[in-house]
Structure 1
Amino acid sequence: MISSGRILLLLAAAISSASAFVAPVPKPSVLTTTTNTQQLPIAANNNEANIRRGTVLFMGWGPDPIWSPATVTSNEKACQSGSCVSITLSVNPETAAEYAIPGQYVQMRLDGDTKPLFLAIASGPDKENASFEFLIKKTEGNEWITSAASGTTVEMSQVLGGGFPMDENLEGFKYDFPTQNVLLFAAGSGIAPIKAAMESGQLNVAGSGGGGGRTARLYYGVQNPDELCFVESFGQWEQMGYQIVPVLSQPPADWEGRTGYVQAALEEDGVPIPRNSGALMCGMKGMAEAVKDILVKAGVFEGRVLTNF
């Protein structure tokens, strides 16, 4: 039991660190992430540890995890360098039924002695398929999952977070103008929840299966081509109506695509019909703040610049 004095101290720490919180993962990033944009800071005693490490979840404590078993069914390299892996796990049908909005996340641990990871789900919601995909960047201490073989059993929490609030802010006429253009921004493993949103059909992009006719463009930033994840899915995403724009900050000499950072690429391209546009993003603090600033100054409604935390 935490004393009332201790609670006041923790609340003060939360308020002082709120300005540092940003997507995701992370990790972290809720959510996305911290340094690998896909996991939040690892925490044994979730809320207190997150505050101590400078991350605040919803400026509150959030629900305690309810653990259930999940089994690794595949573990594959997600990019050419092998720095990230794509891991699929079979989950309880009840857990699969809880996942409704891209951008939601779970906590995961090997057992009660393992510090849990906070992981955004990379696959789209599918209540009929009790399976979740995750994109995980290899870091010191997470080998128990990044190297896990098929058949490995881990513990997974219930589905957490509100995800990207697309229905509330992109649909209808809440901001007087319908959303006709969607801009997506991802840095590093922050592509995970963006992938889930694209493949869900909930963005109603022309050709995505959602029945809509919106245009959509993804700016995906990494250091070099070997760090691009899910490259094998780029063709499928394009068929679904998404224009894919890889942006490399450390490109090789033979790279003919965009270079620099995604916010610079956005500034170069401009925002198509800002009052009819919306955006989803997941990545580091600098990228998120710069992209939002460009979009809002161009005339995009601030409420239509969505994050999943």
Structure 2
Amino acid sequence: MAVHSTAAFASPELCNKTLQGSLLPTANTCFKPREGFLCLNRSLSRYASPQRHRNLSSVVVAATDTEVSEDVKTEGTKTDDFLTRIYRLPSMQSMIDPQPFTISSVDEGGVKDWHPATVLSVVEVAAGVRRIVIEAEISREMVSIENAYTAAGRLAQLKVNGGTVVKVVASSPPFSLRANEPVLVKARGDIPSGMTKQAQYYLSVKHPLELLVYEAETPQVFSLKEGDEVELGPFNFDGLDLRPVMFLTRYPTLLFFASGKGIAIAKAIIEARDNDVGSMNLGRRVDIRLFYWSPDPSKVLFKDKFEVWENEKLKVRPAVGALEGQDWDGHVGTFMSLWDDDDIEYDPSTTGVIVCVDSMAKAEVDKLLADAGIPEKQFCKGDLSAAGITKLVSAWHLSAGNIGAHILPVKDLL
């Protein structure tokens, strides 16, 4: 069986048709797709019986309203109003389109370090920089949680044509827990009375993974074309330790400083959905700002995202070092001058900072934050040098139907 996007089965009879829906309540949907997803959890053992699972057809569920009736659309509008009154706080849930994923049954599986991945799209975002999306295997039956993409800043390890291992920074959020929920329900092994537990099949979960690739650093990955095959290995034990600024009430103001490939890490954190893996729950904070510096306008990445982020709660403050004869209506200068030119009002004791800058900007940002009076214990800083990002060791536990993570710096374990 295959489930595409964020909805699932409502009954066994639906296995031979195409469904439409989304887990997120919008003006075009209500909670019915979500109920269908929960129904999958309750009914999974029925699909797992050896008499039935071999005959299941693929079920593709797209996040559109093609088959949503008019009464559901009306009900969905009322649901939105209800949610607004209940939560009373902005949410980042609608900031980005729900990332589609596909769940399918396969006969062979098991945890492996390396899995094949297909290139889905290649987009040139700047001279010598491309955004490459690959289809990654993320099923917990195939990829151990220690090797999975669970924290912004962890580097994807790739092999092209069986060559040497190269590391590339991911610019999409860590994979949602929801994509693996059916896998975890199956792994829990709940079955009806009278059935015998036995391995029947594996669930494969394919999820898009967006990579920011520089030609100068990884030319073999940069040259990939749509449809090419690569090998995706374990995400190495790198990442940003976000615990110092995790508390919403203690740090209602959250500042991002990004330059170079650090903008990819900032994007991954910004676009993580509230209450999901890698999320900082930005929609529930008071003031969130991104200070982003590039050498010149041609090297400003993800410009198409700025307006989307601005429409939510994030305030984007881009700057360039020099115009180089190009059009630019933003700030021209350094991080320091950009900070001085901004209208931010903040309390140093309640301001958290996430720093994702390259080595050239590190000293300047350190001085800026020291002058701003923000205590260093409220920083989350990443080293974007060739050596990688802040080394961390992750201690994970997997419970029945839930995933938890505790990220510990190496120095705390020595």
What band does the TM-score fall into relative to the shorter chain? 0.5 to 0.7
Alignment of 1:193-212 (within 5 A): 193-201=265-273, 202-206=279-283, 212=284
Is the CA contact 2:252–2:351 (under 8 Å) kept in the aligned structure 1?
Answer: yes
Give the deviation of 1:171 after TM superposition: 2.5
Aligned partner of 2:233 in structure 1 is 157
In structure 2, the CA distance between the partners of 1:75 and 1:103, relative to structure 1 (3 Å rule), is same
In the alignment, structure 1 residue 213 sits paired with structure 2 residue 285: yes
Measured in 1, the distance between the counterparts of 2:116 and 2:372 equals 47
C-alpha distance after superposition, 1:11-32 (max 9, x if no partner) = xxxxxxxxxxxxxxxxxxxxxx
Measured in 1, the distance between the counterparts of 2:118 and 2:137 equals 10
Aligned partner of 2:163 in structure 1 is 113
Aligned partner of 1:99 in structure 2 is 149
Measured in 2, the distance between the counterparts of 1:96 and 1:120 equals 20
1:288 to 352, 357, 362: 362
Measured in 2, the distance between the counterparts of 1:171 and 1:192 equals 20
C-alpha distance after superposition, 1:204-245 (max 9, x if no partner) = 223xxxxx1331111111122222111111111112311111
Measured in 2, the distance between the counterparts of 1:280 and 1:96 equals 28
SS of corresponding position for 1:200: coil
Alignment of 1:99-178 (within 5 A): 99-114=149-164, 116-127=165-176, 128=179, 130-139=207-216, 142-166=218-242, 168-172=243-247, 178=250
Aligned partner of 1:279 in structure 2 is 353
Is the CA contact 1:205–1:213 (under 8 Å) kept in the aligned structure 2?
Answer: yes
SS of corresponding position for 2:355: strand
Give the deviation of 1:307 after TM superposition: 2.5
Give the deviation of 1:162 after TM superposition: 4.7
1:89 to 119, 134, 140: 134
Alignment of 1:45-60 (within 5 A): none
SS of corresponding position for 2:171: coil
State the Cα RMSD in Å: 2.5
Greater length-normalized contact order (CA 8 Å, ≥ 6 residues apart): 1
Measured in 1, the distance between the counterparts of 2:210 and 2:350 equals 32
SS of corresponding position for 1:243: strand
TM-score, reference length from structure 2: 0.51
AA in 2 matched with 1:123? S
In the alignment, structure 1 residue 69 sits paired with structure 2 residue 116: yes
Give the deviation of 1:254 after TM superposition: 4.8
Say how many residue pairs are matched: 232
C-alpha distance after superposition, 1:89-131 (max 9, x if no partner) = 11112359622222222222214433x3222211012232622
C-alpha distance after superposition, 1:237-280 (max 9, x if no partner) = 11231111111111147533211222432244477211111111
Measured in 2, the distance between the counterparts of 1:68 and 1:123 equals 19
Q: Which stretch shows the higher mean deviation, 120-129 or 83-92?
A: 120-129
Aligned partner of 1:230 in structure 2 is 302
Structure 1 unmatched ranges of 5 or more: 1-64, 207-211
C-alpha distance after superposition, 1:182-214 (max 9, x if no partner) = 1111112321111001001322223xxxxx133
In structure 2, the CA distance between the partners of 1:172 and 1:218, relative to structure 1 (3 Å rule), is closer
Is the CA contact 2:246–2:280 (under 8 Å) kept in the aligned structure 1?
Answer: no
> Over alpha carbons, which structure has the higher Rg?
2
Structure 2 unmatched ranges of 5 or more: 1-111, 180-205, 274-278, 383-389, 391-414
Measured in 1, the distance between the counterparts of 2:328 and 2:378 equals 33
AA in 2 matched with 1:120? V
SS of corresponding position for 1:130: strand
AA in 2 matched with 1:205? L
Aligned partner of 1:31 in structure 2 is none
C-alpha distance after superposition, 1:128-175 (max 9, x if no partner) = 2622101112217x3322121112111222122352222x211339xx
In structure 2, the CA distance between the partners of 1:96 and 1:179, relative to structure 1 (3 Å rule), is farther
Identity of aligned residues (%): 24
